[in-house]
Amino acid sequence: MTRQKNDILQGTLVLLVLKTLADGRRMHGYAITAHIQRVSADLLRVEEGSLYPALHRMAQDGWLRAEWGMTEKNRQARFYTITKAGKRQLALEEESWARLCSGVQRVLRYV
Amino acid sequence: MSIWTRIKDFGPWSRAQKERDLEREIQNHLDLEAEESGPYGAQRAFGNAMLVKEEVRAAWGWPRLEQLARDVRYGLRQVRRNPAFSAIAIATLALGIGVNTAMFSAVDAVLIRPLPYVDADRLVMIWDEMSHIGFPKHNSTPAEWREWRRHNTVFTDIAATETGNVTLSGDGEPEQLPGRKVTANLWTVLGAQPLLGRVFTEEEDTQGVQVAVISYGLWQRRFGASPDVLGRTINLNDSPYEVIGVMPREFYFMPARDIDIWMPTSFSAERLKHFSWHDEHIVARLKPGVTLQQARESMAALSLRVTAHVKPPRAAVVTPLRDELAGKTQTSLIVLLCASAAILLISCVNLANLLLSRGAARRREVAVRAALGAGRGRLITQFLVESLVLAGLGAIAGLALAIPVMRFLETLVPETMAAVRLTLDWRVLAFSAAIAVAAGLTFGLAPALGGSRLALQEGLRDGGRGSSGARSHWFQHSLIVTETALAVVLLTSGVLLLQTFHHLQRLDLGIRGEKLLTFVTPLFRYRDFHQRVAFVNAELERIRAIPGVIRAGAISKIPLTGIAGTTRYVFAGQPANDTRTQDALSRVVTRDYFSTVGARLREGRFFDISDQLSQSPVAIVNESLADRNFPGRSPLGARLQFGHLGAEGYWYTIVGVVKEIRDRGVAEELKPAVYRVHDQADQSGDQPSGIVVRTAVEPASIVAAVRQAIWSVDENMPVTHIQTVDDIVARQLSAPLQNTTLLSAFALLALLLASLGLYGVLSYAVTQRTNEIGVRMALGATSNDILLAFGRRGLALTLAGLAIGVLLALVAARLMTTLFYGFRPDYSPAVTVVSLVLLAVAALACLVPARRASRIDPMIALQHE
């Protein structure tokens, strides 16, 4: 099976999920995947195999809150919202992402 | 996340809930995705749902604990699945752990648990070094106590105690009580407080005020636990004493746990001046920061200085109080603990071997797990958990086994310490759990490493038979050698103790023990010599009149019970300062004492009716004294004088040499002894208060009549320490008997386990090498060749174990020296016997599998998968 290399860089999934929920939205796992895929214009695709472990770990670390609810189509789903601790974590993650990017940039620009 | 949430999340309830949530969540996701890309697309996009769930579970945290629980369940299932194997393993472990648990509880009670004194490990005892007369640790004297107390720099204080058995009379029957005279500072040295009232002061002690502190037991028994006892006057040896205090129940101090009365020593000026009354047990507390070694050096020097004018000057010996309290029991406990540890080790070795063999059988199962993704670490953990499950079950069974052994061990606790009831308290349980874990890891590690390695090497290869390689053979073989060696050490030690015990049992006591009744009538009220003679003669006369009594006599110390009681003497013409040859046990007897106890003469005569006070004084000596002072000559006719009486002292003429009587105790060293007849001993302080009665009937049947006989002469005379010589011997042999019994039992257990181990390994080797045997036989090997090949292997292992074990046993025997009671057991028969027994058992253990190997049908063997 060949697949285009669009796996999410290790460690950035947390950042993406936190950012997706950052403005207080309440989303289930599938919606989070879909959101990231759509917003990134299909450049990023979240593996379910990584998403659910990440969601559970984040819930356990207290960054997300999970609760059962109904979708617009009246389906049952587990919804995640960001917590205060999650917002603090998001700030940290954004900062370290920026550092990583600028570091990589410098290396790439170096002749 | 807080620990609390983790714990809350971890419970099985929340776990199940989480599992349901996860299941629904994944299903919902699939449903949502299916709406867009259809069911198959959804499945494909999602990937392996099982794997996703597995990873989510990993994210839930504490998966190790979860894993552990699963491994434990799996281990328990393994136990159920192989009932025969499990039964053997658990039984073996139960023996090992049970025996060790019981031994530990005894060691804990005697050697580890704090003594009932403040900072008990700072307490020491001080003795006189008097090896020149055969006492490397002799009781000290009041004079030395005073000098040491004044001049020492290493102790906060030093207290002295001496025997003070008394007769309590007044309301109720007269009663002989075990008592001690103690200096007033004993309580502060020990850090002990009375339960009621107070203890006496230094002034009361030095001024001779008659006050007494009584034990909790006596207070309960004799005074109905009434607080009014304080201030009451009681009669001790016919003198009034005021009761001023009651000690708490748990208080005890040397030399026995059942002391009932403590009185002031009130040393006379004379006793404090001369360095010759060796009655004192000295106890001292080390100053903070002073080590035992420093105290030893300092006291040895100080003592030589203060006794510089004594010939010869004495050094002092300092020993930890705990060692004195535990005494010989310390050695026997340590030896038995080592023995039980050896048993546990053998059990572990056996199990390791069994598991190694079984590990090979489980290779397929392990390979499947490895193929399904279990890493080596996981496999090792799981193997170890299985071993621990076995060890845990073994420990539980072992506890049940430990309790009866503990009942037996309780009787080993020495007289000098508080009696204990050994129980499975938390210390013992913790120990038991610890050794179970240690055992589980010990016997589980090698099989776990081996098993996991095999799995990865040979994997699923069809018919995975083969041998487990030279390395594992080597390992299994060294395990066999180890356990054989341990068994040899235990067996040899056991045989040495058996020899010792046999020797002690057959020991010539110098008297005939059967139907010989003994008891004590304290003579403190007969201070006048003539009254005393009259009373002793009268009581003996009445006793002889009792039907069933053949003879009766009296002596100052009941035979076999007087470890000390020596006197100084000088032979006519001998200079007065040669202490090496001028110290002997001194006994005062009535004329018919020797014939009553059945003593035998080497030469000369016993005392007779002509030996009256008015006649010339005579003495009888024992063989030790004759051999020491008159080597190769007869001592008959030689004259000697006792004590420090100078011109006043009688000169006694030796008229007889009696064959050695074990006056000091069955297992005690013999010492030179001098016997004098009571009628001529008005200058001696020794009083013939010990009565011996030879009976024709069962001694117990005349005890009541004896009491009546004595009370008909003096109605206030207590009759105490009633026992037969057979009782005394049995009691003195009970410790060696118990040691011997336990160690022999341990040794047999070790032999059994070791032979089982040998059998197991060889039969496994036969199974494993069936193919090879088939090939050999097909190539022309006879069944005898095969038998020899396997037999030789077993024999080689046994011999190697035997050789190592014999060497180790030499070391063990040195550790056990004090348990030989001065006897030098012969090493070579012990080794011979052990070798023969071991070889016989090993031959049997080898023969069965070797024969099986030799009878293998090559056709079947070659097809054997």
Rounded to an integer, the average pLDDT of B624-639 is 91
Chain A nearest-CA distance from B20, in A, is 12
Question: Is position B77 within any domain?
Answer: no
Query: Is B60's CB within 8 Å of A60's CB?
Result: yes
Per-residue pLDDT, B659: 94
| Domain-embedded: residue B51 | yes
Is a pLDDT exceeding 80 seen at residue B416?
no
* Residue of B10, B19, B32, B60 to mutate for A, most A C-beta atoms under 10 A: B32
Round the average pLDDT of chain B to a whole number and report it: 84
B435-453 pLDDT, tens digit each: 888 888 888 887 788 777 6
**What's the CA angle centered on B322, arms B316 and B327, to 5 degrees?**
85
CB pairs under 8 A between A and B: 61
pLDDT digits (tens, 9 = 90+) for B832-858: 888 898 888 888 888 887 787 777 777
> Given B32, B45, B56, which is nearest A52 (Cβ)?
B56
B776 and B713 both lie in a single domain: no
Average pLDDT, chain A: 84
- Closest to A75 (Cβ–Cβ): which among B28, B51, B55? B28
Tokens of B77: 């299932």
Is A68 within the bounds of a domain?
Answer: yes
Pick the residue from chain B with its C-alpha nearest to A48: B46
Average pLDDT over residues B626-637: 90
Same domain, B265 and B278: yes
Judge contact between B846 and B791, C-beta under 8 A.
yes
pLDDT on residue B456: 55
Domain assignment of residue B107, yes or no:
no
B47 to A75: CB separation less than 8 angstroms, yes or no: no
Q: Are residues B303 and B389 in the same domain?
A: no
Q: Is B615 helix (H, G, I), strand (E, B) or coil?
A: coil
Same domain, B445 and B547: no
Look at residue B77 in the predicted model and tell me its pLDDT. 87
Residue A86 in any domain: the answer is yes
Are residues B655 and B577 part of one domain?
yes
- Give me the percent of chain B exceeding a pLDDT of 90: 28
Region A80-97: what's the mean pLDDT? 92
Contact between B350 and B95 (Cβ < 8 Å): no
B830/B653: higher pLDDT: B653
CA distance B25 to chain A (A): 6
Same domain, B335 and B310: no
Query: DSSP letters of B657-725?
Result: EE----TT-TTSPP--EEEEEGGG-TT------EEEEEESS-GGGGHHHHHHHHHHH-TT---EEEEEH
Q: Please report residues of B whose CB lies closer than 8 A to that of A57.
A: 59
Number of domains in chain B: 4
User: pLDDT at position B42, please?
Assistant: 67
Contact B673, B664 (CB under 8 A): no
CB B342 within 8 A of CB B431: no
Among A54, A56, A76, the residue with its CB nearest the CB of B28 is A76
> Where do we find the tokens 């620990």?
B3
- Confidence at residue B547, expressed as pLDDT on a 0 to 100 scale: 94
Place of tokens 């809930």: B17
Quote the percentage of chain B above a pLDDT of 70: 92
pLDDT in tens, B561-614: 876 677 778 888 777 666 666 778 889 999 999 999 999 999 999 999 888 888
Residues of B in Cβ contact (< 8 Å) with A62: 1
pLDDT of residue B858: 74
**Which residues is B675 bridged to in the sheet?**
B587, B620
A93 belongs to a structural domain: yes
Nearest Cβ partner for A48 among B9, B22, B52:
B52
Q: Which domain holds residue A66?
A: 12-109
Is there a domain that residue B577 lies in? yes
Please indicate, yes or no, if residue A7 is contained in any of the structural domains. Answer: no
Query: What does the DSSP 8-state code read for residue B256?
Result: B
Looking at the fold, whether B332 and B456 belong to one and the same domain comes out as yes
CB of B19 closer than 8 Å to CB of B56: no
Which pLDDT score, from 0 to 100, does residue B824 have?
81
What is the value of ipTM here, to two decimals? 0.82
Kindly state whether residue B683 falls inside one of the protein's structural domains.
Answer: yes
In a domain, B181, yes or no: yes
In this predicted structure, the answer to whether residue B511 has a pLDDT above a threshold of 50 is yes
pLDDT at B86: 85
Q: What is the CATH number of the domain that holds A86?
A: 1.10.10.10
Residue-level pLDDT at B532: 92
Which has the closest alpha carbon to B120: B412, B420, B323? B323
pLDDT exceeds 80 at position B467 = no
Cβ separation B52–A52 shorter than 8 A? yes
Q: How many CB atoms lie within 10 A of CB A38?
A: 10
Q: Is B831's pLDDT higher than 80?
A: yes
Contact in structure between B819 and B730 (CB atoms under 8 Å): no
Among A30, A60, A78, beta carbon nearest to B21: A78
Contact A28 B46 (CB under 8 A): no
What value does the mean pLDDT take over residues B344-360? 82
Average pLDDT of B349-376?
Answer: 76
Q: Is residue B105 part of a domain?
A: no
Q: What pLDDT is recorded for position B61? A: 58
Residue B66 within any structural domain of the chain: no
* Count of other CB atoms within 10 angstroms of residue B267: 23
Residues B404, B376 share a domain: yes
User: Residue B766: pLDDT band by 50, 70, 90 thresholds?
Assistant: confident
Q: Is the pLDDT of residue B12 over 60?
A: no
The whole domain housing B826 covers: 328-506+731-863
Regarding whether B337 and B318 lie in a shared domain, the answer is no
Nearest to A80 by CA among A61, A58, A53: A58
In B466-575, where do the E strands start and end? 516-520, 549-555, 566-571
CA A31 from centroid of its chain's CA atoms: 11
Instruction: Name the DSSP letter for residue B201.
Output: P
Residue of B nearest to A66 (CA): B21
Å between B66 CA and nearest CA of chain A: 17
What is the reported pLDDT for B307?
Answer: 86
Quickly list DSSP for B784-841.
HHHHHHHHHHHHHHHHHHHHHHHHHHHHHHHHTGGGGTT----HHHHHHHHHHHHHHH
| Residues on chain B bordering chain A, Cβ-to-Cβ distance under 8 angstroms | 1, 5, 9, 21-22, 24-26, 28-29, 31-33, 45-48, 51-52, 55-56, 58-61
Does B6 have pLDDT greater than 70?
no
pLDDT surpassing 60 at residue B514:
yes
Spell out which residues of chain A touch residue B5, defining contact as CB-CB under 8 Å: 60
Rounded (5°) CA angle B816-B820-B821? 125
Do residues B859 and B713 both lie within one domain?
no
Q: Is the pLDDT confidence value at A6 over 70?
A: no
Residue A6 in domain: no
Is A2 among the domain residues? no
Please give the average per-residue pLDDT across B248-266, as a whole number: 87
Q: What is the pLDDT of residue B465?
A: 45
Question: pLDDT per residue over B690-736, tens digit each?
Answer: 999 999 999 989 999 999 999 999 888 888 888 999 999 988 888 88
Q: What is the pLDDT of residue B133?
A: 73
Confidence of residue B666 (pLDDT cuts 50, 70, 90): confident
B758 compared with B619, residue with greater pLDDT:
B619
CA B613 – CA B629 distance, rounded (Å): 27
pLDDT digits (tens, 9 = 90+) for B296-322: 999 989 989 888 888 788 889 999 998
Q: How far is B64 from chain A (nearest CA, A)?
A: 16
- B348 & B319 share domain: no
User: Of B24, B39, B61, at which residue does a domain stop?
Assistant: B61
What are the helix (H) ranges across B411-425?
Answer: none
CA distance A108 to chain B (A): 34
Find the residue in B nearest to A29 (Cα). B29
pLDDT category at B644 given cuts 50, 70, 90 is: low
Backbone angles phi, psi at B166, to 5 degrees: -135, 160
pLDDT of residue B584: 86
- Asked if residue B663 and residue B644 are part of one domain, the reply reads yes
Range with top average pLDDT, A86-90, B173-177, B384-388: A86-90
pLDDT of residue B691: 95
- Total of domains in chain A: 1
Chain B residue with CA closest to A71: the answer is B32
The two three-digit tokens of residue B792, written as one number: 């030789």
What's the CA gap between B405 and B100, in Å, rounded?
A: 10
Provide φ and ψ at B684, rounded to 5°. Answer: -95, 145
